């Protein structure tokens, strides 16, 4: 790994996986985010690194061997594929394994430089033995378990600000005192059966910038003070935007960026390294999705570099 202090970003063209015509998941954003950041000069090619495929033994710190075998052997049932929302293929499994390794690699860059980011990831609806909601493997959970196993962290906080509850993450760490799960999400949104995070903050439909940011400040400051984590994962979903098709909230583009800035400033002040993944975003105009995600990178660059 190179030693120059900069924002390291996990990315490979495999992230933008081809989907059937008319599919509702905006996979093109994974091409457009790095393109935009390079075009405007926020980053250079040297900021981007290509992860390897995550090893089975690492995945199995978190996931069921039978489930991993189904992903690798292409033996998911039609029902299991429907729950995930993507048709299975060897390329899709390879993509997921690479994204997962990307989040692990980001942890080591974050420990050196404060923050590192994955263009994809934040696949928080994946459970021990199944995937759902466009998530096959839970990259943050795999990375957190890797850090704990290798004694790279003692207490981890997962800050999940996607509009959908991180149900898979909550379930995976329900009995793990070294990982604190915090999810701030739409009360009346998918998943309709919520799991129990260490701290859940359900949001009413239509909540705007001021109330959203005030709740975040109250809860995050309390969690960081009380839990004293030595590593953080931040899921910066942009489906909180008022333009989002599924979000049901009323947060502006500026409010979304202020959220990112608050999280980064809070973690930096306490010297807590942070791995960031993008999570969801479903605004009808893909430009809104890309702009909001790019703002997360711009905020990290401004605050850390």
Give tens-digit pLDDT for 222-264.
999 999 999 999 999 999 999 999 999 999 999 999 999 999 9
The structure's pTM equals 0.97
- The DSSP 8-state label assigned to residue 251 in this structure reads B
Cβ contacts of 174 within 8 Å, gap of 6 or more: 195, 196
pLDDT tens-digit map of 97-124: 999 999 999 999 999 999 999 999 999 9
Lowest average pLDDT, out of 3-7, 74-78, 195-199, goes to 3-7
Q: What is the pLDDT of residue 192?
A: 87
Q: What is the pLDDT of residue 4?
A: 80
Position 3 pLDDT exceeds 70: no
As a whole number of angstroms, the distance between CA 210 and CA 180 comes to 26
**Cβ neighbours around 172 below 10 Å, total:** 26
Q: Which of 121, 90, 81 is nearest to 233 (CA)?
A: 121
Position 1 pLDDT exceeds 80: no
As a whole number of angstroms, the distance between CA 125 and CA 25 comes to 15
Q: Name the H helices within the chain.
A: 29-39, 56-59, 65-73, 78-84, 90-113, 139-149, 167-172, 209-227, 253-269, 286-304
């Amino acid at each position: 790994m190179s030693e120059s202090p900069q924002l390291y970003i996990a990315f490979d063209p495999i992230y933008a996986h081809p989907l059937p015509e008319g599919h509702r998941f905006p996979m093109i954003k994974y091409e457009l985010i790095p393109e935009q950041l390079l075009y405007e000069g926020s980053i250079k090619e040297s900021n981007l690194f290509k992860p390897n495929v995550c090893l089975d033994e690492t995945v199995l710190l978190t996931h069921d061997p039978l489930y991993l075998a189904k992903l690798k052997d292409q033996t998911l049932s039609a029902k299991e594929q429907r729950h995930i929302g993507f048709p299975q293929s060897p390329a899709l499994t390879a993509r997921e394994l690479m994204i997962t390794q990307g989040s692990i690699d980001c942890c080591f860059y974050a420990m050196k430089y404060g923050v590192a980011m994955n263009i994809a990831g934040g696949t928080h609806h994946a459970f021990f033995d199944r995937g759902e909601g466009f998530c096959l493997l839970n990259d943050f959970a795999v990375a957190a378990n890797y850090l704990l196993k290798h004694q790279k962290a003692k207490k981890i906080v997962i800050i999940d600000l996607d509009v959908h509850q991180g149900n898979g993450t909550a379930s995976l760490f329900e009995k793990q005192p070294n990982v604190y799960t915090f999810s701030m999400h739409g009360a009346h949104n998918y998943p309709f059966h919520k799991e129990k995070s260490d701290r859940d903050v359900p949001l009413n439909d239509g909540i705007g910038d001021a109330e959203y940011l005030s709740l975040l400040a109250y809860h995050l400051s309390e969690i960081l003070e009380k839990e004293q984590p030595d590593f953080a994962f931040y899921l910066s979903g942009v489906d909180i935007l008022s333009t989002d098709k599924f979000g049901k909230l009323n947060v502006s583009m500026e409010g979304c960026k202020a959220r990112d800035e608050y999280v980064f400033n809070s973690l930096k002040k306490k010297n807590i390294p942070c791995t960031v993944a993008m999570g969801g975003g479903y605004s009808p105009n893909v430009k809104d999705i890309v702009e909001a995600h790019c703002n997360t990178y711009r905020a990290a660059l401004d605050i850390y570099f």
